[in-house]
Amino acid sequence: MSVFLSYSRADSEFVDLVQRLLVSKGYDAWLDRRNIGAGSRWDNEIEEAIKSRSHMVVVLSPESAASQNVADEWNYALDEGKTIVPLHYRECSIPMRLRRLQWIDFAKQPFAEAFMALTNALGEPDERPSDAIELAKREGYVSVTEPISGIRIAFAYRDYPKAGGFLMTVWSTLLWSVIKRGSTQHRAYDYGYQWALRNLANGEVLQLPDKKGLLLHEIGIEPGARLEIVHLKGEKS
């Protein structure tokens, strides 16, 4: 499915994150600041973008609820018969015509749960490759940080398509980095300790999968992901 993002500039940082994540999962997620070229007529571009997309996500906040431009966009989308998905980002008075629609609560739900609800509402993306290997070859770097030592490493997404190999490579790379530094503060890297990775974009904790052969995207790691090391209880398994 394709989606138009309607929002207030006050929420740009959050909307940029949502748009990047949607694009990484294969959605045609249209955002004015990224999709309108220099010299284009702003109103014509927005009208055409709404017409040509199946869904509209309206990011609700005090500023967007008070914005006439945002109201014009979602009213036009409703009149065109588009599917509207209100996204409750910050507490505000929800406009009357949007109150009757089922909305997704990013204000109170954990980000990972709310984002999953959003993708469920949008349906299957149009642009995501159907072939798993082709999907795993997409461009982009995945960075991993050890928060205590500050060690940071980056992997080309396409070079480590399988989740198990990627996670074990992360483990061994950081282990040898710690040994070379002579650190005594990282005993959790001793073989057998439980550890995992946290996706900094949505807070989801990713553990070594039981099923062999899974690709990175199948455990939630997308191109451009930023991860950090998490120790689980600090005990050996």
pLDDT 10s digit of each residue in the chain, 237 long?
A: 789 999 999 999 899 888 888 887 788 898 877 655 555 566 778 888 899 999 999 999 999 999 999 999 999 999 999 999 999 999 999 888 888 888 899 999 888 888 889 999 998 887 766 666 666 666 678 899 888 777 888 888 878 878 888 888 887 777 666 655 555 554 444 444 467 888 888 788 887 667 777 888 778 788 788 899 887 654 443
Q: Are residues 117 and 189 in the same domain?
A: no
Q: Are residues 85 and 67 in the same domain?
A: yes
Q: Are residues 157 and 99 in the same domain?
A: no
Q: Is residue 96 part of a domain?
A: yes
Give the C-alpha separation, 57 to 98, whole Å: 11
The tokens describing 207, both together, are: 């553990």
Q: Are residues 111 and 164 in the same domain?
A: no
Q: Per the structure, how many domains does the chain have?
A: 2
Q: Is residue 25 part of a domain?
A: yes
- Which domain does 162 fall in, by range? 132-236
Q: Is residue 154 part of a domain?
A: yes
Q: Are residues 191 and 146 in the same domain?
A: yes
Q: Is residue 83 part of a domain?
A: yes
Q: What is the reported pLDDT for 214?
A: 81
The CATH number that applies at residue 165 is 3.10.20.90
Domain end marker among 63, 92, 122: 122
Contact 1, 126 (CB under 8 A): yes
